[in-house]
């Protein structure tokens, strides 16, 4: 099917550095495309070119005549409109359905009478979404549509887009959102694009294979450089006239090698950990908190022990921040008591990045306003080295924070938070504006962190990967603690709702208006673990540790770059075994976790 929109061989340079270098994007009717890449790779720029907001330096742009394209920017601009309704209606063309515009405004939690100047970031995004979706365009270009939205709004938007006939090009850090909506993936990397004709659910496996193939090519390139260098050195004294063509080829190879070295940067994160806190970190008993007539927290109890990872979820305005402040001691409860453990050292990443002075330079934000050194976990590091750990270019040191992208500000806040020694890490929407690779590394850091974590997030996948328990808002000031992540919470909620419905049905009055007596049931059999399950529960930890040791040995062996050139067969065998060991490790961990949860459920019952 011919594309409705086609960008071909797009080039664009900012400040002497190519942002786009031959990028391509083709969108056919009804296609669902994930546009992925690192922060700063040019994703938003490519989307702006597709929308006609930015002109490229070179390249071809085809838009099918008469096709309608709507673009949602990361930072919507509502200036010039007195009300949200006028902003939304201004996006309609003659003949578009005004009723759909009003339906979208209402379903996104707005009335239309709001003054745009007073909107929060989440409300502005909802208004911009209503404006983009209302005309039912041929192509929707959406740049981080879930930023600042709460979970109910994200799930509503996901369902709305799933039922839309529009083609969609989607930039998002929300894995679950991308997995559920896309059927093709365009990867923007070093200014160029590569396309996978499958959705984001398959992207990371494909990307890793692409990188592995590139690294293998790099090994071959290294061998060729070594061979050519040996020829050059031996030939210097033997020949007066060098083969200058061959010498130039060697220089080209070295140049290509340098470019590869710059290609795949990696965020190096490590949290600075303080001395251990006491075993009991925070204990809340029958806590309530009201503001005026509104009860935000009602009869809430929670015990947090050292090493717990607690996720807090709920719609915007439910009281997540209030709950955090109560737990940390920034607010006092109206009723109940909250006890905090000993030796608590708290590091916080705030949602709005409020502690960043926009006039301050990147370097000063890290050093505290002067000097060249950063205190990281009680040790001094040079600011340039620490900047590189978080993928900042040394030239960015004097850059004002106001000039940084949203993703760069997010990385800066992480760098500041992680430099402080802590045993209690408080993260309020840490995933906003971070690219998926940085989120992977943040997840690894949280997994290795020895302290306790309080995490507020609307990112379903991130919650599933990071937390051991979820505190969820149930309405009317009530909060419930669920074991596991977001998906576990949803399953437990569904089970509770099913039980409540069955109980209500059993008590339903009969035709004579009398309540049916509850049927006598046989005494349930005592649940217990089978011998096989008990044996697995006892032996799996040793097997997991054994696999971890094997994986570490294989990784150390493969880290030796000489292995590929000296023993390719051994390299391939070690790579294959590492993949198999990783799969066995994941399966063993999953089995142990399921059995452990089953044991706790049986003992608790």
Residues in the annotated binding site for ATP: 37-44, 314-321
Cα separation of 347 and 425, whole Å? 5
403 CB-near residues (< 8 Å, 6+ apart): none
Exposed/middle/buried for 351, CB within 10 Å: 0-12, 13-18, 19+? middle
DSSP letter, residue 400: B
Q: What does the block give as tokens for 253?
A: 């190879």
Residue with tokens 């006028």, as numbered in its chain: 86
Tokens 């609307």, located at residue: 458
3-state secondary structure of 390: coil
CA 394 → CA 20, 137, 268, 384, 440, distances in Å?
22, 43, 15, 6, 24
Please, which residues have CB within 8 angstroms of residue 309's CB and are 6 or more apart in sequence? 446, 452, 453, 455, 466, 467, 468, 469
Annotated binding site: 37-44, 314-321
Q: Give the residues across from 303 on adjacent strands.
A: 283
Instruction: Output the CA angle 469-475-476, nearest 5 degrees.
Output: 125
Tokens representing 549 are 């040791």
User: How far apart, in Å, do the first and last CA atoms of the chain sit?
Assistant: 58
Q: Which helix (H) or strand (E) holds 211?
A: helix 203-238
> Which DSSP state fits 200?
G
* Bridge partners of residue 428, in order along the sequence: 456
State the residue for tokens 């808002």: 473
Q: What residues contact 142, with CB distance under 8 A and at least 6 apart?
A: 72, 132, 168, 169, 170, 171, 172
Distance CA 57, CA 495 (A): 57
Query: Is 441 strand, coil or helix?
Result: helix
CB under 8 Å to 520, separation ≥6 — which residues?
none
Task: Map residue 208 onto helix, strand or coil.
Answer: helix
* Angle at CA of residue 401, ends 149 and 269, nearest 5°: 75
Minimal CA–CA distance to 210: which of 252, 160, 264, 137? 264
Burial of 446 (0-12, 13-18, 19+ CB in 10 A): buried
């Amino acid at each position: 099917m011919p594309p409705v929109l086609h960008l071909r061989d797009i080039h664009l340079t900012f400040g002497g550095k190519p942002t786009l270098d031959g990028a391509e994007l083709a969108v056919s009717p009804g296609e669902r495309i994930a546009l992925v890449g690192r922060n700063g790779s040019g994703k938003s720029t490519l989307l702006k070119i597709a929308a006609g907001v930015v002109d490229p330096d070179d390249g071809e742009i085809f838009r099918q005549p008469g096709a309608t394209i709507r673009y949602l920017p990361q930072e919507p601009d509502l200036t010039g409109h007195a009300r949200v309704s006028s902003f939304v209606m201004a996006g309609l063309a003659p003949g578009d359905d005004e009723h759909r515009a009003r339906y979208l405004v209402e379903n996104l939690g707005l009335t239309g009478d709001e003054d745009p100047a007073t909107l929060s970031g989440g409300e502005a995004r909802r208004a911009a979404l209503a404006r983009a979706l209302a005309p039912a365009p041929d192509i929707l270009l959406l740049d981080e549509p879930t930023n600042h939205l709460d979970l109910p709004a994200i799930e509503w938007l996901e369902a709305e887009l799933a039922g839309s006939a529009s083609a969609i090009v989607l930039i998002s850090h929300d894995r679950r959102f991308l997995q559920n909506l896309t059927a093709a993936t365009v990867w923007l990397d070093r200014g160029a694009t590569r396309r996978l004709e499958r959705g984001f659910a398959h992207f990371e496996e494909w990307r890793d294979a692409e990188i592995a193939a590139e690294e293998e090519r790099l090994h071959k390139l290294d061998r060729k450089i070594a061979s050519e260098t040996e020829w050059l050195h031996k030939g210097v004294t033997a020949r007066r006239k060098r083969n200058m063509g061959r010498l130039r080829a060697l220089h080209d190879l070295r140049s290509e090698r340098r470019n590869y070295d710059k290609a795949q940067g990696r965020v190096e994160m490590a949290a600075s950990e303080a001395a251990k806190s006491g075993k009991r970190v925070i204990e809340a008993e029958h806590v309530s908190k009201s503001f005026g007539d509104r009860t935000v927290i009602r009869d809430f109890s929670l015990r947090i022990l050292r090493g717990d990872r607690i996720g807090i979820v709920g719609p915007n305005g439910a009281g997540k921040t209030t709950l955090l402040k109560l737990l940390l001691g920034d607010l006092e409860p109206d009723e109940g008591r909250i006890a905090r453990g000993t030796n608590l050292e708290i590091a916080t990443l705030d949602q709005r990045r409020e502690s960043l002075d926009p006039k301050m330079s990147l370097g000063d934000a890290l050093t505290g306003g002067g000097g060249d050194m950063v205190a990281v976990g009680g040790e001094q590091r040079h600011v340039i080295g620490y900047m590189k750990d978080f993928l900042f270019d040394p030239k960015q040191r004097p850059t004002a924070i106001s000039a940084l992208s949203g993703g760069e500000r997010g990385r800066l806040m992480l760098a500041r938070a992680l430099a402080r020694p802590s045993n209690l890490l408080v993260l309020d929407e840490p995933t906003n504006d971070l690219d998926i690779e940085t989120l992977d590394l943040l997840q690894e850091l949280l997994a290795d962190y020895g302290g306790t974590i309080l995490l507020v997030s609307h990112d379903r996948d991130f919650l599933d990967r990071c937390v051991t328990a979820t505190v969820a808002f149930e309405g009317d000031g009530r909060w419930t603690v669920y074991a596991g992540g977001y998906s576990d919470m949803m399953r437990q909620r569904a089970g509770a709702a099913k039980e409540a419905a069955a109980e209500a049905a059993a008590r339903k009055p009969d035709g004579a208006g009398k309540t049916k007596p509850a049927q006598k049931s046989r005494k349930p059999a005592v649940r217990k673990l089978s011998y096989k399950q008990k044996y697995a529960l006892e032996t799996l930890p040793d097997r997991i540790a054994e696999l971890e040791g094997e994986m570490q040995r294989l990784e150390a062996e493969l880290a030796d770059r000489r292995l590929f050139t000296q023993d390719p067969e051994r390299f391939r065998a070690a790579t294959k075994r590492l993949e198999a060991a990783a799969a066995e490790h994941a399966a063993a961990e999953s089995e142990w976790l399921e059995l452990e949860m089953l044991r706790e459920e049986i003992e608790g019952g």
